[in-house]
Structure 1
Amino acid sequence: MEWRCTWCGKPHEENDPPCDNCGHNTFERAVEQVPTAETDGTTDPVWVCTECGRQHTKNSPPCKRCGNVDLEQRQPDWDDLDELGGTSYRDVLEPRYVAGYAIAAVLGITLVLAYAGVVTLPGMGRPPVPDDVAGEGDRVGDRSIAAVEAAYVEQLNERRDAAGVGPLTNDTDLEWYTAYVNKRTVQSVAGDGRQLRQEERNSVFDYCDDPVTERYIAAETTVDAFDSDASLAEALLDSWDGNDEALTATQESIGVDVHVGPDGRVFVTVAVC
């Protein structure tokens, strides 16, 4: 074949474009191959970047080194044969690749921190409630923590009824908020985690405009001193100095979390909206 397409390199018998392989409209005379004995290597022509000189085995712009789209067909330079082929280690160290790696690393770290609750990203939702908290959040001896929390709400509603206002109902958003804040507080006090940030404590405003919240430690209360869930709940409610703030007629929902720390102290977080 005397002619070949300048774009895809397909050989043709005549200079009669367009190319029946790629449709390109320019042909050139085929380059005569150099005998293997004279070169000690491949004799196929290569495509060389007109900007940086990088050799390519195919006419497949852009240049893998500098991005230039103009490649020129030449006989190979045997001193640079190590550059033929795909992307090399020098290519991946180009600034554009390095910048991409850095961005990917930052995004990965940010996602990990967001999942751990260290940072909050828009659209990612709220972080999970910690489940590796020291102490007990389910049961202590004969006391069921869930039953104590239910009795806490029930007794607060009895006081609201005596004050002439309607009962509070459990709210899933407030239950998440109080559990998250209470568990993180236990971790912080026990030295197993960082302190809560102000924005985390203020996230209750996502669920109501005028919340009443309190997190406290019932320091003088030990679980084994009570013979029922109700009596323990009453003691915890009495330990809330501002519980009369939860006796307002406009309030409708509540969340409460109780957790017994590793030293036996009882941690309580409550939110009323």
Structure 2
Amino acid sequence: MGWECDNCGTVSTTPPCDECGHEHGEYTGFVWVCTECGKQSTRNNPPCVRCGNMGLEKRKPDYEDVESEAAGVGWLTVARPFAPLIAVMLLVAALFATGVVPFPLGDQTPTVENVPGNATTANGIDLAAVETNVHRQVNDFRAEQGESDLAEDETLAAMTTFANQQRVAEDYEGGQVRGGLGEFSPGCEPRGYFFGSVDGTDGSRIGDYETTQELADSVAQSLLTGSQSRQTVLDANTTYAVDVHVAPDGRIYVAHLFC
């Protein structure tokens, strides 16, 4: 018993055509028909898949029954092989809808809105000037070890600021994080170090510093005195960025990223 495709002539067992996918054709030979519901099958293999009846009779095929079943193949049948992929897509959509995963921001740079504390000036100290001073001290240290200067990079600087402010937003109320570090496109896989002042220690608050130089020296020293972080400074190849942020209670947060 075979089924011949009207479109290309290929003989298959049942529609659709194995060669071209066409649904219409003609059976050649006989079929086995359920004596209860009339379901046709190419094999004598009871019970009937439609009603469970054990009685099958050998007859000439009834094409109307075959074609009505082929016409009834809907999008659910077609989609069945892709069910795992569809399930994953629905899960991702649900995570975005509920906010568990932040929705991509397109061309917008990830930011922390209304970040608590101060990113520009604190206790009369210009924090941008502190960052510039620390960058210079890092390059001075590398020069002493025979290494070249690390340049500035806008993308790396934006990542460093975002990462530092994200930590502040996690520790204090008020900040809204928009996006994530994974949405940046740096030219390398950055290595990073993060520092936060510890209560009860010298230099734990911005009020412990009177000048830009004092704070810059403290930040640079905390990076260059640790054996692992010092080695990262020497292993960097191209760029470096540092961000200094002062929390509402005066605690100092510092982030360093190297490429």
Q: TM-score, normalised by structure 2?
A: 0.53
Distance in 2, matches of 1:111 and 1:146, equals 38
Distance in 2, matches of 1:111 and 1:245, equals 43
For residue 255 of structure 1, report the CA deviation from its aligned partner. 1.5
Higher relative contact order, structure no. (Cα contacts within 8 Å, ≥ 6 residues apart):
2
SS in structure 1 at match of 2:219: helix
- Which of 181, 187, 208 is the aligned partner of 2:163? 181
Q: Once the two structures are superposed, what CA deviation does each residue of 1:3-46 show, in whole Å capped at 9, x if it has no partner?
A: xxxxxxxxxxxxxxxxxxxxxxxxxxxxxxxxxxxxxxxxxxxx
Aligned twin of 1:226: 209
SS in structure 2 at match of 1:214: strand
Paired residue type of 2:111: V
For residue 201 of structure 1, report the CA deviation from its aligned partner. 4.6
- Which of 117, 120, 128 is the aligned partner of 1:135? 117
Once the two structures are overlaid, the 10-residue window that deviates more, 187-196 or 209-218, is 187-196
Call closer, same or farther: CA 1:234–1:191 in 2, change over 3 Å. same
Once the two structures are overlaid, the 10-residue window that deviates more, 164-173 or 236-245, is 236-245
Paired residue type of 1:158: D
Aligned twin of 2:193: 214
Paired residue type of 2:242: V
Conserved? CA contact 1:157–1:168, under 8 Å: yes
Paired residue type of 1:168: L
Q: CA RMSD in A?
A: 3.4
For residue 226 of structure 1, report the CA deviation from its aligned partner. 2.5
Aligned twin of 1:119: 102
Distance in 1, matches of 2:97 and 2:142, equals 44
Call closer, same or farther: CA 1:111–1:149 in 2, change over 3 Å. farther
For residue 264 of structure 1, report the CA deviation from its aligned partner. 1.0
- Unmatched segments (≥5 aa) in structure 2: 1-92
For residue 135 of structure 1, report the CA deviation from its aligned partner. 1.0
Paired residue type of 2:248: P
Aligned twin of 2:242: 256
For the pair 1:156 / 2:138, whether they are aligned, the reply is yes
Aligned twin of 2:256: 270
Conserved? CA contact 1:145–1:258, under 8 Å: yes
Aligned twin of 2:37: none
Once the two structures are overlaid, the 10-residue window that deviates more, 186-195 or 153-162, is 186-195
Once the two structures are overlaid, the 10-residue window that deviates more, 242-251 or 228-237, is 242-251
Paired residue type of 1:254: Y
SS in structure 2 at match of 1:248: helix
For the pair 1:247 / 2:233, whether they are aligned, the reply is yes
Distance in 2, matches of 1:250 and 1:192, equals 35
Call closer, same or farther: CA 1:216–1:142 in 2, change over 3 Å. same
Paired residue type of 1:260: V
Q: TM-score, normalised by structure 1?
A: 0.50
Q: In the comparison of the two structures, how many residue pairs are matched?
A: 160
Paired residue type of 1:236: V
Paired residue type of 1:270: H
Structure number with larger C-alpha Rg: 1
Paired residue type of 1:171: D
> Which aligned pairs between 1:1-273 and structure 2 lie closer than 5 A?
119-121=102-104, 124-192=106-174, 200-201=180-181, 206-219=185-198, 220=201, 221=203, 222-240=205-223, 241=226, 242-248=228-234, 251-273=237-259
SS in structure 2 at match of 1:130: strand
- Unmatched segments (≥5 aa) in structure 1: 1-106
Distance in 2, matches of 1:254 and 1:229, equals 20
Identical aligned residues as a percent: 21
Paired residue type of 2:220: L
Paired residue type of 1:217: G
For residue 267 of structure 1, report the CA deviation from its aligned partner. 0.5
SS in structure 1 at match of 2:111: coil
